[in-house]
A and B are shown apart, each in its own frame.
Chain A
Amino acid sequence: MANTDEQVVSDGEVQVVAFKLRNEEYGFSILNVQEIKGLTDITRVPFAPEFIKGVINLRGSVLPVIDLKRRLGLEDTPYTANTRIVIVQFDEVSVGMLVDAVTEVRTIDANDIDSTRAVTGNDAAARFISGIGKVDGRLIIQLNINEIIGLTGEE
């Protein structure tokens, strides 16, 4: 079972793949990240939920891609040379996440991760966030993959 608890790699440390959405930094647990892919053609899927950008061909399999900015209620930005698709796996479901840029793989001390309660300004997006990590004065917002994929609830 892959879930956010597994972020703890060893003795209260968490490894995250950090990436940018607009000018904020976010992160997925590295345990959920399968690979990072450059932007390829995304085929629109009619009647799909709005936050699903479309599907891509990942070595012969058809994979849905979630537009993370749209999912988190952030404003849209055009694609750049840095735009990436982060392929994450959760409960045997593989999904691509469209992000503006992948910055680095960071190790964060568990003590440096705050629960979200303190900062949930935007209620709608709060359920997507599992914690906020502080590294060298930067904030990396930890995302709850389960909620983002939205296989539970919602439907």
Chain B
Amino acid sequence: METNQYMEMFLDESREHLQSLNDGLLSLENDPEDLSVLNEIFRNAHTLKGMSATMGYTKTAELTHDMENLLDMLRKEQLKVSSEIIDVIFKCVDTLQEMVENIGSGESEDLVDVSDLVRQVNAIAKGESPDAGAPATDAPASAADAPAAGGTAFALNDTDRAVMKEAKTSGLVPYLIHVEIAESCLLKSARSYMVMNALDDISDVIKSVPPAEDLEQEKFDHSFDVAIVTDSDAKTVENAVAAISEISKVVVTEITDLDSPAVGGEAPEAAPAPVEEAPKAAAPEKVDHKKDNKPAPAADKKDAKKVHVGGQSVRVDIEKLDTLMNLVGELVTNKVRLEQIGMTHRLTELTETLEQMDRVTTDLQSVVMKVRMVPVSQVFNRFPRMVRDLAKELNKDINLTIEGEETELDRTVIDEIGDPLMHLLRNSLDHGVEHPDEREAKGKPRTGEVGLIARHEGNNVVILVTDDGSGINADKIRNKAVEKGMISRDEADALPDADAVRLIFLPGFSTAEVITDVSGRGVGMDVVRSKIESLGGHVDVETKIDEGSVFKIKLPLTLAIIQAMLVKVQDEMYAIPLGSIDSTINITPDDIKTVQNKEVIVLRGQIIPIARLGEILSVPKGEETGEEDIFVVVVHVGDHKIGIVVDNLIGQQEIVIKTLGKLLSGLKMLAGATVLGDGHVAMILDVSALL
């Protein structure tokens, strides 16, 4: 069976389940009593097992299976949730993640050694400490494995038995049929349906385990059992079932003892009765496992199904979306051209049709934009685990609060924002939040609060990384900067605290006195800053000694379309992103003063340096207009302001950002280009390069 086409789906879904496992384990750790969480974890593990087995990744399936056993014991309270057990399960999840990634990169899942982990899991299952057990003690696992591989104790209730007895008196023979479906089978439900159909033709089906509806919904591993009464012989029944493709094994046994409550459905060549072989400690669990295991996930899966129906979705390659976006852009540009033709030739009919088309294209554009948006939870959801691990490592008590994870951002931004956020969080944990004892001494609660908050702010999305830790000491930063020769002592002393703290964003700055694993390699904050700025965003910090710090990241909603102010210098048109514009003002030449030969203006009492765009960009000089009015666009980069002198303000407009391509990459002052409505190309200014 060709499974390659399902590979992408398998990888995607496995990753999702692993993520849910991570999330679930975290909440379980916080509230070990919460059975619903445990059930969900179990369900995830179970699905993962089924998927990997279907795809033929036996090792992955095995490890998941062992993990599932452990979870099952927790669920039935045969074991108590302890941090030790959670750690081991976390390890399992990590290992599984590694295996799935290996599979994804086309390598073998075998690259990861799971034997030690399997031993630990089984040791816990046996009630030992995870380190104690020797590899030989994996009996519980094999015992637990048995129901899947071999026979199943088939519970018949009184009614079932009565029916069978009656049938027997009328000359029919009761049989128990054990059916195994090939591991590679992708449509197990279809096969089981065919089996049931075939049996229906030649017999009366009394009962199946799992029940028929579960079979239809694929809520079984690879085998199921059916009890029938028939007038055909065992061989006929066996042949009828075996004729169906992808059925790997059929065992038909006559039920002779109709008085015993459980009927052994043991396959002759299957492993000898596992119940006897399993150590005593594991035996009772096994029975429970069988009775409770099946119905429980079935019930849980119903909830899962509901969620599924609510949000049907299609996975689409991001490249296709990019193409779609480009095509829409072209459509819009063409539409504008048509509009111009309509205007010039006064074609009312055309103009009217175009108005309709305008509405459609605008809708189309916004839909395409929305399709590209994904919630930040895609990035955020990996942090709880990271914070937990890191807090343990640092011996700190940390409570991470996440807010606004439903806030949406363009896919490209989401892909890039993970690393900077991770770095900021690590910093908050390592440098920000103090050790519990220290916190107590300061009169703060022992548990440190770290927050990750996303929200909309105008046309931007703001992400805050907050902590209630020690804050950043401006003097320390000043000293460090001077020591590193980044600024002079005088300059440092002249800096207000807020600015001094911002020095951490300069290249080569790291305040950690001891370099730790966590942060402090000196490649920290400047990398964060440059990454965010490359996304068209901005990062800033506010801090108060002993009260904590807030890192504020401001990001554009999308990288593809921005609001911009169009300005004119001589005959050239430039676009300035609206996000960085403070205000636009109208002055006369007399308003320009000089300070140390640099031109400045005074705006509401603030001295703002000005830059003449025409000179900076060496725009070819046209004729002097002799105009008295000078237009200044005041932009800000961080706390710095600068006035850009232009000849004319054209207006505000939504523009589609296009790259300048390989040949013109890395030009200073330019953030890209855009095609205006009339088909002309205008350059987009990178304001931060003006400083």
Contacts and interface: CB of A to CB of B under 8 A. Distances in A.
Contacts of A150: 663
Interface in B126-146: none
Interface stretch (B103-111, B472-480, B669-677): B669-677
A45 B679 CA distance: 16
Contact of A46 (B617, B661, B663): B617
Interface string B591-625: 00000000000000000000000000111100000
A44 B572 contact: yes
Contacts of B674: 62
Contact of B330 (A43, A55, A60): A60
B658 A61 contact: yes
B659 interface: yes
B659 A62 contact: yes
Contacts of A129: none
Contacts of A59: 330, 333
Interface extent on A, as a size class?
A: 20 to 34
A56 B663 contact: no
A118 interface: no
Contacts of B658: 61-62
Interface in B675-691: 675, 679-683
Given A43-B673, A60-B333, A52 B662 contact: no
Interface residues of B, number: 28
Contacts of A57: 333, 675, 679-681
A52 B663 contact: yes
Given A45-B660, A62-B658, A93-B661, A55 B673 contact: yes
Contacts of B669: 46-47
Contacts of B660: 45, 55, 62, 64
Contacts of B333: 57, 59-60
B663 A151 contact: yes
Contacts, number: 77
Interface string A141-152: 000000001110
B326 interface: yes
A63 interface: yes
Given A52-B663, A60-B330, A41 B675 contact: no
A48 interface: yes
A64 B620 CA distance: 19
A95 interface: yes
A60 B329 contact: yes
How would you classify the secondary structure of chain B's contact residues: helix, strand, loop or mixed?
A: mixed
Interface string A81-125: 000000000000111000000000000000000000000000000
Nearest to B676: A57
B661 A52 contact: no
A45 B618 CA distance: 10
Given A57-B675, A60-B326, A60-B675, A43 B661 contact: no
A61 B663 CA distance: 14
A93 B661 CA distance: 8
Given A57-B679, A60-B333, A60-B675, A45 B663 contact: no
Interface string A38-72: 00110111111000101111011111100000000
A100 to B, nearest CB: 22
A43 B682 contact: yes
B663 A64 contact: yes
A47 B674 CA distance: 17
B314 interface: no
B667 interface: yes
B668 interface: yes
A93 B665 CA distance: 12
A26 B393 CA distance: 69
B680 A45 contact: no
B494 interface: no
B243 interface: no
B307 interface: no
Contacts of B619: 44, 46
B309 interface: no
20 contacts: A41-B679, A41-B681, A43-B572, A45-B670, A46-B619, A47-B617, A52-B664, A55-B660, A57-B333, A57-B679, A60-B330, A60-B675, A61-B326, A61-B658, A62-B659, A62-B661, A62-B673, A63-B661, A93-B662, A94-B661
Given A41-B679, A149-B663, 17 more contacts: A43-B682, A45-B664, A45-B670, A45-B683, A47-B617, A47-B667, A47-B668, A48-B664, A55-B664, A59-B333, A60-B326, A60-B330, A60-B333, A64-B660, A64-B661, A64-B664, A151-B663
Interface of B: 326, 329-330, 333, 572, 617-620, 658-664, 667-670, 673-675, 679-683
Interface of A: 40-41, 43-48, 52, 54-57, 59-64, 93-95, 149-151
